[in-house]
Amino acid sequence: QVVLVQSGAEVKMPGASLRMSCMTSGYSFTDYFLHWLRKAPGHGLEWLGLINPRSGTTTYAQKLEGRVTLTRDASSATVYLHVSSLKSGDTAVYYCAREGRDGDYKYWGQGTLVTVSA
Amino acid sequence: EIVMTQSPESLAVSLGETATINCKPSQSVFYNAKNKNYLAWYQQRPGQPPKLLVYWASTRESGVPDRFTGSGSGTDFTLTISSLQAEDVALYYCQQYYSTPYTFGQGTNLEIK
């Protein structure tokens, strides 16, 4: 079955950088786009960006463009989210999600809690 | 960016009754080339990732009880939960995937009255 497993919780200082991973299994890695989203306390779900695992092509939310980078490693069927210049407003649970069909999210990782605090 | 206006913010419904959640995108999410509305509904319980309930506005995901029904087109959508059960207590979101950035409604917190 399709499984997405994310890396563990992180605590970071403001200004630091962060890389988290999402390891996939149970399907052909290059057949579906993978997305990253987050849910901050008191806020709704926010889309961060997507990556085409076949080509490595990415699209980012304009709000975070320049601070977010998505990469992939096809050999391990893993995608990575890198966020730089962290702020307290980046405190959130981060999710990776795989498309079901056209952009709906049928499969989700378990979530990674990121806390940015001095 | 398509803004998703979801209402109500919270809703209390008696067991066995019907809950109705509305979602209005700021522009149409109907994709003419595929004759489909690019709108989904999710349920999120505390400590869990969201769960896909409905995609293409009205297609129920496999394994989702038929008490959950999505309807609507263009800029006006509804999620109806009939015969409410205790396990339906959760946060519900609509999402458009017509164009990036994909956007979500602010969520509806469903409780038992």
pLDDT at position A102 is: 82
User: Looking at residues B92-101, what average pLDDT do you find?
Assistant: 96
- Report the residue of A6, A58, A105, A110 to disrupt the B interface, i.e. the one with the largest count of B CBs within 10 Å: A105
CA angle B92, A63, A98 (to 5 degrees): 50
Stretch B68-94: mean pLDDT, rounded? 97
Per cent of chain B over pLDDT 90 is 98
Beta bridge partners, B72, equal: B77
Give yes or no for residue A65 having a pLDDT over 90: no
Check pLDDT > 80 for residue B21. yes
- pLDDT tens-digit profile of B34-80? 999 999 999 999 999 999 999 999 999 999 999 999 999 999 999 99
8-state DSSP, B102: P
Confidence of residue A63 (pLDDT cuts 50, 70, 90): confident
- Residues of chain A contacting B56 with CB distance shorter than 8 Å: 101, 104
pLDDT of A44 > 80? The answer is yes
CB contact, 8 Å: A102 with chain B? Answer: yes
Q: What angle is formed at CA B100 by the lines to CA B65 and CA A94, rounded to 5 degrees? A: 65
Q: How high does pLDDT run on average in chain A?
A: 95
pLDDT band at A101 (very low <50, low <70, confident <90, very high): confident
Higher-pLDDT residue of A102 and A52 is A52
Q: What pLDDT does residue B96 have?
A: 97
Share of chain B above pLDDT 70, in %: 100
User: What per-residue confidence (pLDDT) applies to A100?
Assistant: 85
Give the model's pLDDT for residue A103: 85
pLDDT of residue A92: 97
For the stretch A47-54, contacts whose Cβ atoms lie closer than 8 Å and that sit 24 or more positions apart, written own/partner, are A47/B100, A47/B101, A47/B102, A47/B103, A47/B104, A48/A81, A48/A94, A50/B100, A51/A79, A53/A29, A53/A79, A54/A30
Q: Which chain B residue has the Cα nearest residue A63? A: B101
Using an 8 Å CB-CB cutoff, list chain A residues near B59.
Answer: none
**Contact with chain B for residue A40, Cβ under 8 A:** no
User: Do B100 and A111 lie within an 8 Å CB cutoff?
Assistant: no
* Interface mutation vs chain A, best among B45, B62, B97, B109, most A CBs within 10 Å: B97
pLDDT over 90 at A31, yes or no: yes
Q: Tens of pLDDT along A75-94?
A: 999 999 999 999 999 999 99
